[in-house]
Structure 1
Amino acid sequence: MAMDFRKFWTRNMLIGLGLGQFLSLLITSTGFTSSELAKKGINAPTSQSFLNYVFLVIVYGSILLYRRKPLKAKWYYYIILGLVDVEANFLVVKAYQYTSLTSVMLLDCWSIPCVMLLTWIFLKTKYRFLKITGVIVCIAGLVLVVFSDIHAGDRAGGSNPRKGDAIVFAGATLYAISNVSEEFLIKNADRVELMGMLGLFGGIVSAIQISVLERNELKSIHWSAGAALPFVGFSVAMFMFYSLVPVLLKINGSTMLNLPLLTSDMWAVVIRIFAYHEKVDWMYFVAFGAVTVGILIYSGGDKDEDEDQHPLNSAEDPPRIKQDEEAKSGNSSRGTGAGSSKTWVV
């Protein structure tokens, strides 16, 4: 019995749980800074993320230039990833203009089955009954959150719920694609390369989109400390989130990234209670417990994943990828210094 307990509380599982909750807190902080910007009438979702990509390319791009080594992954993978990541961030932030917080929170769970499907197809990850059960329990906890909002009368319909819900579905699907792509790249390429190239192409895509969609909005903003601080705070939190995501992806994979991040809304509840002294429905605590149990079920037990990490490479690439993996296996701790995550997935 003691042996089974030690198998359950593995080092990777404990690191994954702790890091996942820290990432969850970072996401909570981005939610609050976005809320502050919305209260000030600032509607620039792409601009909010742009500074994060600038931080990424400055920090990790500088390291890449210092190394002067060729890219380990095809450059066009990073263009696609940058485009997908920018649009995922844009859509989910945009959805808050049309639908309620609880709808966004629930529908964002769509990224979990999407991640599981994509990793099963492209990364050959196998999910057994224990893993699937953990995901179901986590989603059940989020359903309880929605019911608690309805029970407490806090649900706001939004100006166009159907449009907002459709936007969330689209954004959650793009998040899943982004997270799985990052998982593949962090395991077959390099963490610094991933962050530097994501920052480069994410910044380029963001700049183009800002010039087309948000140029007039930025001109109309009366910049002050009250407007600039939430903007910078959002970018710093996102930079930390993106920098840590590859760590969790390398240790536990993209599904384990998405599961702990479900608790971000519940951490927001804790902040509401202690920072703003607001009353919260008792069902939130039941939901938090359900999500915690689901994460434990998912991350415990025997190793359930059997991944083939080569499916996205062309026919001429396997020898090089194999050499990279053998090199990494001799120095596996190198990939746990900092990452993304968010992975995520963030």
Structure 2
Amino acid sequence: MMFDFGRIWTPNTLIGLGLGQFLSLLITSTGFTSSQLAKKGINAPTSQSFLNYVFLSLVYGTILLYRRKALKAKWYYYIILGLVDVEANFLVVKAYQYTSLTSVMLLDCWSIPSVMLLTWLFLKTKYRFKKITGVVVCVAGLVLVVFSDVHSGDRAGGSNPRKGDLLVIAGATLYAISNVSEEFLVKNADRVELMAMLGLSGGIISAIQISILERNELKSIHWSAEAALPFVGFAVAMFMFYSLVPVLLKINGSTMLNLSLLTSDMWAVLIRIFAYHEKVDWMYFVSFGAVTIGLIIYSGGDIDEDQHPPNAAIVDLGPAVKQDEEANSGNHSKGTAAGSSKTWVA
């Protein structure tokens, strides 16, 4: 197979690869903090994510209020998105109580086929041969980690691995729904609006869920710096992650995001090498190289083939976007207006 590397190494490709790996590092840090809290016997998955939603609503909500503009998407879209996102975080963080860090990260790759199916069904995204090849290479590279001795001890951990694995798969499916929804909204509405409304709806739903499920757990925790720091660290890392995800979604889409996050397990091993001076199996480095090559193939292949597909999804986002369409209709001779409620989704 021949690739035109002049087309692959575009600014968008380089930004997507770099940003994707930074997001992967952030996910690695949240995985470590969740694992540490689980080892301390702290079982409050919704509470861990609550601070993140508060940060999002405060920061982006302030910007949104300052703009004093109507929402571009209907408010109930964000309520649904907030519910899905909160429960995805709840299920995956809950899984750390029953299974190992490695199992969570490996099974989380279930989100990739889920995202591809959802974007194909609802966003009408076309995946050509090169992109599918990139996905296969990425997943094959990650599977190699399973056979590496570096994780042999970690995989055996967990009080109820089967229950934990089912929670991860369910959470990964909800993550896929959340990511595809965010991709649509960030391309058709507004990034600041998305973050502000997701923070508001997620915060409200999280608060309700905490009062029902985790109130007694929070009361039983002996709050100290050792217990509070992982909570705050998790929230800060998640806030940065949520703030940057829409940027990558707009540039490269939700499949690229989920492929990039495959390397989080590998970054975890690198941290162990340099921080704890552990030795790793040679297969790990082959795996890391395979995932990197797969990411390059996916992000660089078929750059122009997926733009403006003939059967792109058309969704009515709301009256505010329709007004933008009418205001800009005279400036475009072809395609749809900038900010239109009926936009091609690649």
| Structure 1 length-normalised TM | 0.89
Distance 1:29 1:153, change over 3 A: closer
Gaps of 5+ in 1: 330-346
Distance 1:33 1:160, change over 3 A: closer
1:36 shift after superposition: 2.3
The residue matched to 1:20 in structure 2 has which SS? helix
1:164 shift after superposition: 1.8
The residue matched to 2:147 in structure 1 has which SS? helix
Return the match for 2:314 from 311, 315, 318. Answer: 311
Tell me the distance in 2 between the aligned counterparts of 1:228 and 1:151: 29
Partner of 1:300: 300
The residue matched to 1:326 in structure 2 has which SS? coil
Within the alignment, does 1:256 sit opposite 2:256 as a pair?
yes
Tell me the distance in 1 between the aligned counterparts of 2:105 and 2:21: 17
Q: Which amino acid aligns with 1:185?
A: L
Partner of 2:127: 127
1:284 shift after superposition: 1.4
Within the alignment, does 1:326 sit opposite 2:329 as a pair?
no
The residue matched to 2:72 in structure 1 has which SS? coil
Question: Contact 1:81–1:181 at 8 Å: present in 2 too?
Answer: yes
Question: Contact 1:57–1:195 at 8 Å: present in 2 too?
Answer: yes
Distance 1:321 1:177, change over 3 A: farther
Partner of 1:187: 187
Tell me the distance in 1 between the aligned counterparts of 2:85 and 2:51: 14
Tell me the distance in 2 between the aligned counterparts of 1:246 and 1:232: 22
1:307 shift after superposition: 4.8
Question: Contact 1:99–1:159 at 8 Å: present in 2 too?
Answer: yes
Partner of 1:343: none
Partner of 1:5: 5
Partner of 1:106: 106
Partner of 1:344: none
1:151 shift after superposition: 7.5
Distance 1:207 1:251, change over 3 A: same
The residue matched to 1:286 in structure 2 has which SS? helix
Partner of 2:81: 81
| Structure 2 length-normalised TM | 0.89
Question: Contact 2:142–2:287 at 8 Å: present in 1 too?
Answer: yes
1:312 shift after superposition: 3.4
Gaps of 5+ in 2: 329-335, 341-346
Q: Which amino acid aligns with 1:232?
A: V
Tell me the distance in 2 between the aligned counterparts of 1:182 and 1:160: 33
Question: Contact 1:148–1:284 at 8 Å: present in 2 too?
Answer: yes
**Range that drifts further, 272-281 or 54-63:** 272-281
1:149 shift after superposition: 4.4
Partner of 1:92: 92
Partner of 1:170: 170
Tell me the distance in 2 between the aligned counterparts of 1:176 and 1:247: 17
Tell me the distance in 2 between the aligned counterparts of 1:14 and 1:281: 29
Question: Contact 2:106–2:142 at 8 Å: present in 1 too?
Answer: yes
The residue matched to 2:119 in structure 1 has which SS? helix
Tell me the distance in 1 between the aligned counterparts of 2:186 and 2:155: 39
Percentage identity across aligned positions? 82
Question: Contact 2:61–2:197 at 8 Å: present in 1 too?
Answer: yes
The residue matched to 1:275 in structure 2 has which SS? helix
